[in-house]
Amino acid sequence: MCLAVPMTLVAVDADGGGTVELDGVRRSVRLDLLDEPRVGDVVIVHAGYAIERLDPEEARARRELFARLAAAYEAGVGGPVALAAPPPEER
Amino acid sequence: MSVARALAGRIAELARALDGRAVRLMEVCGSHTMAIARHGIRDMLPGNVRLLSGPGCPVCVTEPGYVDAALALARRGVGIATFGDMLRVPGSDGSLASARAEGAVVRAVYSPARALELAAAEPDRPWVMLAVGFETTAAPLAALALEIRRRGVGNLALLCAPKRVPPALDALVADPELAVDGFLCPAHVSAIIGARAYEPYARDHGRPCVVASFEPLDVLHGLAGLLEQIVAGEARVDNRYARVVRPEGNPAARRVMAEVFEAADARWRGLGTLPRSGLRLRESFADLDAERVHGVAVQPGREPPGCRCGEVLAGRTEPEDCPLFDRTCTPAHPVGPCMVSSEGSCAAAWKYRGSQGRKS
Ligand code: SF4
């Protein structure tokens, strides 16, 4: 029942409903479980309800972490690959 | 794929650092079970790292007596709105799918909000939404209850058996037979309840906990996180899904749930009755409680004979160890709920582990 894919909120209606979009496909969504939903929020949808927002900074940090892992692997580092979160200044 | 290879390499390296010690990691959530099966993640793991499925499939832990109560309603003409996974779950005597084949009004819905439309389209028929699931689903169901109230819908009630994940973990860590070295904590349940909810299992029970999403790379990243803690001899809550999961969870969702539901003791298939592990409607929502409105009660039902779902859900048995697995029990002819639900361990094992996984 869970979808991992975040979708972008493109409309917020007065009655607690709204519209999300992913790759040009739009779906209606209920927004009763979010405080102050705004157009442009990237949300996680479960059973037709937005259950949480995606934090763009954290999402970027994870993308960068995985990119570094891939780069280290491809460079054939051989030694231990650090999985720990990057130091704050790198984020 | 180099991220996957890098993560697999890291896991292999950590497994070697365990010096031959075998560890068992439990994935608590059905979405993890599916991702692990679909992407062959077990096969990527070193021999001394075993994965175990927990009680994370909401349909599977729902007791047969609940299905019996839903069937009783369906057979007297009440319209049933349900998540599709419930359709083929066996009760003591038939399933909702078989009742529908006999003419009962049973509609599969993706969202609880759809039940409002069904009830509005047939205002003379009483409708009941089957309210099962963990916190991720309980929050939308609570929002549905508020919306029924707000719109003054008079013909829609809820048959309530939502469940809470932490009391199930309490039961698991209290079981001296369960040797679990760490928990891969659910993704979207945690979005509601927050990563902090797992602190007792790390702090008081010494079990490393990692919150991870269920995309395949996130699962690997989460498993690596568990092994890092085990190798270092630590036990804490590591939130590796911080892009969605906050330490305190989603305050709006928690508020909506607290307004509608209160904790109550509940029966789980496999784990028995666990204190405060279920959610029931508060007294102020009694007029939406299908058990009261329609005079039905959820009684303990009869488990399918020979089915070992209960043990599978408690992490005591693997699907392949059930004598019925792949013999009388297959996804086309499921005997127990763990083979019915797409999130069930037996269905995942049957579909993805293939014949190598089946013991003959
Ligand atoms: S294989 Fe079938 S009968 Fe055996 S435990 Fe799983 S669901 Fe039950």
Q: Render pLDDT for B177-219 as a digit per residue (tens, 0 to 9).
A: 778 999 999 999 999 999 999 999 999 999 999 999 999 999 9
Question: What local confidence, expressed as pLDDT, does residue A38 receive?
Answer: 97
- Domain residue ranges of chain B, discontinuous segments joined by +: 2-57+166-239, 59-164+249-294
Cβ separation of B243 and A62 shorter than 8 Å?
yes
Between A2-6, B223-227, B250-254, the lowest mean confidence (pLDDT) is in A2-6
CB-nearest to A30 from B85, B143, B214 is B143
- Owner of token pair 């329609």: B294
Model confidence pLDDT, tens digit, residues B288-324: 999 999 999 999 888 888 999 988 888 888 899 999 9
- Ligand 1: nearest atom to the Cα of B329: 2
B311 CA distance to ligand 1 centroid (A)?
Answer: 10
Residue B333, CA distances (Å) to B74, B304, B317 in order: 22, 13, 21
| CA-wise closest residue to B217 among B44, B18, B54, B25 | B44
Whether B59-164+249-294 and B2-57+166-239 are alike in CATH topology: the answer is yes
Number of A–B residue contacts, CB under 8 Å: 126
Model confidence pLDDT, tens digit, residues A35-44: 999 999 999 9
**Does B356 score more than 50 pLDDT?**
no
Residues in A closer than 8 angstroms to B13, CB to CB, are 80-81
Q: What is the DSSP letter of A59?
A: H
CATH topology of domain B59-164+249-294: Rossmann fold (3.40.50)
Instruction: Give the residue with greater pLDDT, B218 vs B270.
Output: B218
Our answer on whether the CB atom of B322 is closer than 6 Å to any ligand 1 atom is yes
Q: How many CB atoms lie within 10 A of CB B85?
A: 23
Q: Pairing between strand B261-268 and A17-22? A: unpaired
Among B62, B322, B328, B345, residue to substitute to test ligand 1 (most atoms within 8 Å of Cβ): B322
Question: What local confidence, expressed as pLDDT, does residue A4 receive?
Answer: 62
ipTM of predicted complex? 0.90
Our answer on whether the CB atom of B198 is closer than 6 Å to any ligand 1 atom is no
pTM of the model: 0.91
Average pLDDT over residues B161-168: 95
- Report CA dihedral (B110, B111, B114, B118) to the nearest 10 degrees: 60
Q: Model confidence at A21, in pLDDT bands (50, 70, 90)? A: very high
Our answer on whether the CB atom of B224 is closer than 6 Å to any ligand 1 atom is no
Rounded CA separation B234/B226 (Å): 9
User: Hey, what CATH class is A6-79 in?
Assistant: mainly beta
Nearest CA residue ID for atom 3, ligand 1: B307
Contact present, B230 and B182 (Cβ < 8 Å): yes
Query: How does the average pLDDT of chain A come out, rounded?
Result: 84
Sequence-ordered alpha helix ranges (H) in chain A = 56-74
| CA-wise closest residue to B67 among B350, B314, B296 | B296
Model confidence pLDDT, tens digit, residues B34-50: 889 888 898 889 999 99
**Does A91 score more than 70 pLDDT?**
no
CATH number for the domain running over B2-57+166-239: 3.40.50.11750
> Which residues 207-226 in chain B show a CB within 8 A of chain A?
213-215, 217, 221, 224-225
DSSP B142-190: HHHHHHHHHHT-SSEEEEEEEB-HHHHHHHHHH-TT----EEEE-SHHH
Q: Model confidence at A5, in pLDDT bands (50, 70, 90)? A: confident
Q: Model confidence at A88, in pLDDT bands (50, 70, 90)? A: very low
Cβ separation of A4 and B214 shorter than 8 Å?
yes
Model confidence pLDDT, tens digit, residues B130-161: 999 999 999 999 999 999 999 999 999 999 99
Query: How does the average pLDDT of chain B come out, rounded?
Result: 92
Nearest CA in chain B to A42: B244
Question: What local confidence, expressed as pLDDT, does residue A3 receive?
Answer: 61
